[in-house]
Amino acid sequence: MPAHTQTDDSQEIQKLYQLIMSGLEPDLLIENLPLLMGKYRTESETDRAARKERYVTAFAEAFRRIDLVLAEMKKDSTQFRSTVLRKYQQKENESHDDVLRSIDDSLSNS
């Protein structure tokens, strides 16, 4: 299995950002950012200030939601790790018990 990289994480966070931002402020989708200057070059100062305020609100909300998703994933990851390690330890103990039984049986039959 190929190694998981930070680039993989960045791409997943980017997808999450795109998903969230598409519902908040489509202008702020990554592919739209380079187009904003041209799209709004003739807007008034008042409209520009209102748009900037919308953007600040949208960024704050998007990153708040991303942080919530990542926190939930961290919690899930911690629970998953505990479950896997507990199952491993149970199997390890079962294997150890089997070895002890086998030795005991061997000694009893001698």
- The more confident residue out of 57 and 102 is 57
What are the domain boundaries of the chain? 7-108
Q: Taking 70 as the threshold, does the pLDDT of residue 3 lie above it?
A: no
When pLDDT is cut at 50, 70 and 90, the band that residue 90 belongs to is: confident
| Long-range CB contact pairs, 76-80, < 8 A, 24+ | none
pTM exceeding 0.75: no
Closest CA to 36 of 24, 48, 46: 48
Which ranges constitute the DSSP H helices of the chain?
Answer: 6-24, 36-39, 45-108
Question: For position 69, what pLDDT does the model report?
Answer: 95
Mean predicted confidence (pLDDT) in 2-22: 85
Q: Can you read off the two tokens belonging to residue 41?
A: 């070059």
Q: What are phi and psi of 5, to 5 degrees?
A: -120, 165
- From CA 44, how far away is CA 74, in angstroms rounded? 44
pLDDT digits (tens, 9 = 90+) for 19-72: 999 999 999 999 999 999 999 999 999 999 999 999 999 999 999 999 999 999
